[in-house]
A and B are shown apart, each in its own frame.
Chain A
């Protein structure tokens, strides 16, 4: 089968790979680029573990073909921390907003996308925004509190 040559920017760095036409962006990130922070929970858009930001828009990388990433800018969990952890990452640890951690990269990426649009969300807004991110462990409350505290911290810093 003919492979498709894909050129993208991932977490600020140019990335190139050859994709099978049926390959998802999720598989390309994990298997070709070695970025295994993005997780596969369902592969069908239901769980959000595969959340990434493409050209500024939060999407499920399992619902996008790798070939569709041509010329796009992709942000994954690996690009979130700088020298230090992102406030969201720190607050998730602080609040113990994770247990097994499988949902965490997707939730962090999704929460970051929310706070970029809405620096001061209500609990309800956070819950609706994260409705497509499933967590089997925490019961969500700690996640909401961690996002609120990270938001407050980021507002304070700005």
Chain B
């Protein structure tokens, strides 16, 4: 295995584009090292991204959004007051990943590019309308987070492409977001179901919403029907009912050892309801 330490995204992309065999990028390594150890993946080339300048930085952009470096670990996100104030749902999703030790290393970009449908930070990013900057052999471009996952363990990035930054939009006024997952214990488990809701209010009425569902399809999905169910409402009982039905209808889960399809379908409705209420309270300035 060749271990590379490029100092720019252009160089990282060039090494990746020229790599003849199995290639992995190394951010926090909490997926890559486990897969190497299990013999699932034996990279011929491993490109450590942590020597590229600014990959550990979180910066507010001119428009009030956020640019998060691809090597920022969960522990740093969780300690960032500005980010927690603007996007608590995104931060709480990432902070659910693994143990204290895993939080010391694991990144948003790694969680996204590992391609798990149960990745805990991905619904929050999608609901927030986050985008990623992708650098490749032809330069860099910006795409929506929901365009990245292609299926379990697969992304739509092409050879030589990698994520060079995570971009969160400006929070703006009267907005709130939240992520919830169901696991059979309180810590250290993989989401059986996850759901993130992001919304904006005009006084009491929801005027914008995005709802993302995790672990109920081959990729995390953005449910437009679930969002439509609450837009224009005050999140009253009938809106919550409509949201539940839309989330259930959007779920296309499998049955496995962690939960049956029926169970997942029911839980996604419950989580959508609860996450929407938290997001609503946060938008009202009443949440934590």
- Picked from B26, B48, B100, the residue with its CB within 8 Å of the CB of A131 is B100
Q: Are B50 and A68 in contact (CB under 8 A)?
A: yes
Is the CB of B246 closer than 8 A to any CB of chain A? no
Given contacts A58-B101, A129-B100, A131-B187, 8 further A-B contacts (CB under 8 A): A21-B1, A45-B30, A57-B73, A57-B104, A58-B100, A65-B48, A110-B101, A130-B100
A45-B34 contact, Cβ under 8 Å, with A64-B29, A64-B105, A68-B48: yes
Contact B188 A62, beta carbon cutoff 8 Å: no
Residue B259 CB within 8 A of the other chain: no
Chain B residues at the A interface, C-beta cutoff of 8 Å = 1-3, 26, 28-30, 33-34, 36-38, 46, 48, 50, 73, 75, 98-102, 104-105, 186-188
Nearest CB of B to A52, in Å: 9
Number of interface residues of A (CB under 8 A): 31
Q: Are A4 and B3 in contact (CB under 8 A)?
A: yes
Can you show 29 pairs from A to B with CB atoms below 8 A apart?
A21-B3, A21-B46, A22-B36, A44-B37, A45-B33, A45-B99, A46-B188, A48-B99, A48-B101, A57-B73, A57-B75, A57-B104, A59-B101, A59-B105, A60-B102, A62-B37, A63-B28, A63-B29, A63-B34, A63-B102, A64-B29, A65-B29, A65-B33, A67-B48, A68-B50, A128-B100, A130-B100, A131-B186, A131-B187
> Are the CB atoms of A62 and B33 closer together than 8 Å?
yes
Known: A45-B30, A63-B33, A64-B29. A132 touches B46 (CB 8 A): no
